[in-house]
Structure 1
Amino acid sequence: MEKKNYEQLDETLYTETLSNGLSVTLLPKNGFHKTYGLFTTKYGSIDNQFVPLGKKEMIRVPDGIAHFLEHKMFEKEDGDVFNTFGKLGASANAFTSFTQTSYLFSSTSNVLENIETLLDFVQEPYFTEETVNKEKGIIAQEIQMYEDEPDWRLFFGILGNMYPKHPLHIDIAGTVDSIMDITADLLYESYETFYHPSNMNLFVVGKMDPEKMMQWIRDNQAKKEFPTAVAIKRHFPEETATDIKPFDSIEMPVQRAKSMIGIKGIGPVPKGKAALEYKTAMDLLLTLLVGPTSDNYLKLYDKGIIDDSFSYDFSLDRTFHFADIGGDAKDPAAFSTVIKEILLTAKESPELTEEKLTLVKKRMIGQVLQSLNSLEYIANQYSQQAYGEATLFDVVPIIEGITLNQLKVLAEEFMQEKHMSVFHILPKGDGEA
């Protein structure tokens, strides 16, 4: 078990890769009463084309199968796993994203028993055609609920414009039609391919004895047999700037229109620590340009072009990176026009000064330090593992090291009109040509 100290933050991280390939990370925080466990597989909604374990040919599975699999993992032949966690005094949950599926619990007691329950239920699948067909109706209702959610439609609308070929534009839960093609056999095939320990990581944070915890995990895994690990072959369509759809809109029964601008990252996604540096720099750049303390934000707010729904984000993960900026808009055309103008002139923006960068850095460092008081936040950040050896505890020195010139270069390279797209949601009856 390797031990790494972060003296600046007074944190110690314990890591080990077990003989079956499972990556385990422990972060003792004995000032807390709660312990939080997160068991994650690098399998998400975009992984819909792959070569199944033990086979040679690439297959295409129904959209939404990773999310469907997550739902079915809690149901076992002898009952519901939620009841088991409840009896042990724990609350449990799970979630599926574009690139991962995570199972979690939090508890103030019976921590070792809860860790064992977490490992055992995720590593013991049970599916039947009867239970699979029953679940289809439940998930179909969930899909229909999100189809009526304007903000959800806005986000996937801009993804559809930027990534028309890539599965990123497909709803994580799939469609009502696609989930009807899911079978127990397909679930087992997906499970066996992606739920191998070598494609998974376990993160535990909170009150614990790290030596005792790691031995408990080793003993649990030693009782189980797994096939030999093999590299997973996934396929994603090639994406270029010419695939981007510059504009689209839909009508929905909303009181106010909505607008979102997307900027698609073109070219290879940075890896390891470089990815964390890139994402941190982009977060700083967007905050300087349109953050709540920027002059741009205040002017647009005063003019009524934006309101409290305004938000911005930068996402970076396997095979994709993009920025999205949006919110409610009285005049969506004016909203998108002015935001694009801010982005396209970013390199010369009066917002990019040493003084303002220093202030934004201090604020961001404060937010990072405050977030370290949340076990859930720490665990969720670690589970992503998109940054190689770099961790959440490397963010503060990365923030400190970013220069104004770096941000200006990033603005010039990333903020290009050919990489941008706009999506509007309009009140019914106000459609645009």
Structure 2
Amino acid sequence: MKAQKSIEVTCLSSEAVWTLFQKEVGEETLKSHPHIPRLAKIVAEECKGLPLALITLRRAMAGEKDPSNWDKVLQDLSKFPAEISDGECGKKKNKTLLYNDVSRLKEAQEIPNLKVAEKMSFWDENVEKFPKTLELISSLISLKLFSTINTNVLSRVEESLLDELESLNGISEICITICTTRSFNKLNGSHKLQRCISQFELDKCGDMISLELLPSFLKRMKHLRWLCISDCDELKDIKIEGEGERTQRDATLRNYIAARGNYFLHEVYIDNCSKLLNLTWLVCAPYLEELTIEDCESIEQVICYGVEEKLDIFSRLKYLKLNNLPRLKSIYHHPLPFSSLEIIKVYDCKSLRSLPFDSNTSNNNLKKIKGETSWWNQLEWNDETIKHSFTPYFQIHEAEAYLTDSEESETDGIDDMQQDSASN
């Protein structure tokens, strides 16, 4: 692949994209759930007519029959507008490199010739040729954006990658995945990289037990918009430490207040961290808009007791998803105004018996509260009028709705058969 040459980007029409996408995903998958066709059409539209994006997505979603996974893909696509929709149809481009299949990349010696490249993104599971490629990134003197999000970079080359990126004078935006404590500590010591990071993923970091952050570190990460912590099996807590207090075991309210600054973290995803106990550090993210917490079996509270009610928490939060958190008992122990909240999704959180709502909680922007009927019915309310004001927004989980519709159809079919038999 002669990536340094200009190429003509030919885009497909929306009708052609949808036709091809349906064919590749398969009729069986599209008919497996009533919500999937609608979600699939939105996913196809996100390809923007670009063949590379279409091929990648149709392969990923073929055989996927769980609507929640389609929904998750849509969330993922919203994180990568530069990688997927940067090219303009019918125009020649030579400044953006998107490798969704690293194994197709030719000899790494080609990389130094790409001095005009401004953006480089690797988006794939196969990274066998990364070591040779990453050693030459410092040669891309025009590089401004670099991304390895959704890519399994080999842990042995992570530190070298950080060195390469730090040597680039023009780099201004970095989207990166880290999977070792050593690499995170290296990042923690680089003020330049901290100021460039817009998307950060801590993935499969099995040797990290505690993530300790200084307020100065958070303030330098002022461009961070998206954060994902996933599959960190040993991670127990995320603590905000006061400057010069790194031996202190518990983060105090003073440290949280000191860490609240003008950085604009918008989206946080916490997934499959089995020992994580809480996410109290989120009080340091006043601009948070989306929060997803899934498959964290030990978490009991989102925001711990001891954090004062006066802090402005989740005031800009629009989307909250809590999934498979069997021990979760509390989101926050004080009612919250939730002035921007639009969607809440709660699945498999059987210990969550209350929501932080009261008469001052806003429903002006609220669109829906989704969950299982059994969970909604067991919620405890301080006032029945509060329950009545939020009940119209409750919608049952898609899977439950599908099962209910199926059962009703079967029942109707049996009734019809019985009536036919009686008539005969």
- TM-score band, normalised by the shorter chain? under 0.3
TM-score, reference length from structure 1 = 0.26
Choose between structure 1 and 2: higher helix proportion: 1
TM-score, reference length from structure 2 = 0.26
Specify which structure has the bigger relative contact order, considering alpha-carbon pairs within 8 angstroms and separated by 6 or more residues: 1
